[in-house]
């Protein structure tokens, strides 16, 4: 069984590709109604994006509640650069036999512009190869730690991650500009249910997951986050996938 969370599709795609190669069933944690039956689980995997060198809180909360049958476990974090101690810290919540990071296109438009098309395609092609290698190792139930931690991993995953979860998850700076046509897609697709449509325009709650699906996937590119996102490229994996890999 592979459980995943994904904002802009990288982790959803990686989870599905991996499940196809390992023969696992795949579950989006935001679609689950309560905890799944795990009686027949032969192995358990998690796939999620790195947020400020840590796992998304929704994934940590899910893992804390999930039963722990005595089977092989593995986790994959997708990241735009480096993962810090994400997998070591996640493994304290749900012990993992195999831990990996997977380099994928960067969706953090608040921090910097997202990757250019060439780099996106390169990363996805390399990720396909890395997922095949991972799947072979998982099938052999190998205990592997292959995570690109990067520099200052401890500082980033402890201090910066603490600051991110405490202070940087405000949804208040989001707003929709004049090109918004009130289609409602952002509200329907928000995994935190943090957007509602009022008088034909989206309104954001105080806090959210910061998955950045709304700003990256608005069909009219109408959403901004404060002053920093104007003119930056939007990213979602969908336009870069062939038909047989679509989400």
Ligand X SMILES: Cc1cc2nc3c(=O)[nH]c(=O)nc-3n(C[C@H](O)[C@H](O)[C@H](O)COP(=O)(O)O)c2cc1C
Residues near ligand X (CB under 6 A): 6-11, 49-53, 78-82, 104-108, 210-212
**98 vs 191, which CB is nearer to ligand X?**
191
For the bound state, the minimum distance from the C-beta of residue 177 to ligand SF4, rounded and expressed in Å, comes to: 8
Q: Does 44 bind ligand SF4 (CB under 6 A)?
A: no
Residue listed under structure tokens 């208040």: 172
Tell me how crowded residue 191 is: count the other CB atoms within 10 A of its CB. 19
Count the alpha carbons within 13 Å of 68 in the hemisphere toward its beta carbon.
11
Among ligand X, ligand SF4, none, the one that 56 touches (CB under a kind-dependent 5 to 8 A) is: none
On whether the CB atoms of residues 202 and 187 are closer than 8 A, the answer is yes
CA distances (Å), origin 67, targets 33, 45, 54, 96, 99 = 15, 13, 22, 13, 19
Site string for ligand SF4, 118-157 (x = CB under 6 A): ----------------------------------------
Closest residue by beta carbon to ligand SF4: 208
Among ligand X, ligand SF4, none, the one that 78 touches (CB under a kind-dependent 5 to 8 A) is: ligand X
Among ligand X, ligand SF4, none, the one that 53 touches (CB under a kind-dependent 5 to 8 A) is: ligand X
Q: How far apart are CA 237 and CA 247, in angstroms?
A: 9
Q: Does 5 bind ligand SF4 (CB under 6 A)?
A: no
Using CA atoms of 61, 144, 159, 93 in order, give the dihedral in degrees to the nearest 10: 30
Site string for ligand SF4, 172-211 (x = CB under 6 A): ----x---xxxxxxx---xxx-xx------x-x---xxxx
Q: How far apart are CA 13 and CA 107, in angstroms?
A: 14
Q: How far apart are CA 247 and CA 243, in angstroms?
A: 9
Question: CA nearest 185: which of 244, 236, 227, 241?
Answer: 236
Give the contacts of 102 (CB within 8 A, at least 6 positions apart).
14, 76, 77, 78, 79, 127, 130, 131, 134
Among ligand SF4, ligand X, none, the one that 99 touches (CB under a kind-dependent 5 to 8 A) is: none
For the bound state, the minimum distance from the C-beta of residue 221 to ligand SF4, rounded and expressed in Å, comes to: 8
Q: Does 232 bind ligand SF4 (CB under 6 A)?
A: no
Interface residues with ligand SF4 (CB under 6 A)?
Answer: 7, 171, 176, 180-186, 190-192, 194-195, 202, 204, 208-214, 218, 220, 222-223
């Amino acid at each position: 069984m592979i459980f995943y969370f994904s904002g802009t599709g990288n982790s959803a795609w990686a989870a599905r590709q991996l499940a196809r190669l390992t023969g696992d069933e795949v579950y989006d944690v935001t679609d689950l109604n309560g905890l799944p039956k795990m009686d027949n689980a032969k192995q358990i995997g998690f796939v999620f994006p790195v947020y400020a060198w840590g796992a998304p809180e929704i994934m940590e909360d899910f893992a804390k509640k999930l039963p722990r049958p005595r089977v092989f476990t593995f986790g994959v974090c997708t990241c735009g650069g480096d993962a810090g101690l994400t997998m070591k810290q996640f493994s304290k919540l749900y012990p993992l036999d195999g831990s990996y990071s997977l380099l994928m296109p960067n969706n953090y438009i608040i921090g910097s512009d997202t990757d250019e098309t060439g780099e996106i395609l390169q990363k996805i092609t390399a990720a396909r190869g890395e997922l095949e290698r991972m799947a072979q190792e998982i099938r052999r139930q190998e205990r592997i730690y292959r995570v690109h931690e990067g520099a200052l991993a401890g500082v980033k995953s402890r201090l910066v991650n603490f600051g991110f979860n405490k202070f940087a998850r405000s949804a208040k700076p989001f707003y929709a500009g004049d090109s918004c046509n009130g289609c409602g897609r952002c509200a329907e697709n928000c995994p935190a249910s943090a957007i509602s449509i009022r008088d034909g325009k989206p309104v954001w709650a105080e806090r959210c997951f910061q998955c950045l699906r709304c700003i990256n996937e608005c069909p009219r590119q109408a959403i901004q986050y404060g002053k920093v996102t104007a003119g930056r490229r939007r990213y979602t994996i969908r336009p870069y996938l062939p038909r047989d890999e679509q989400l």
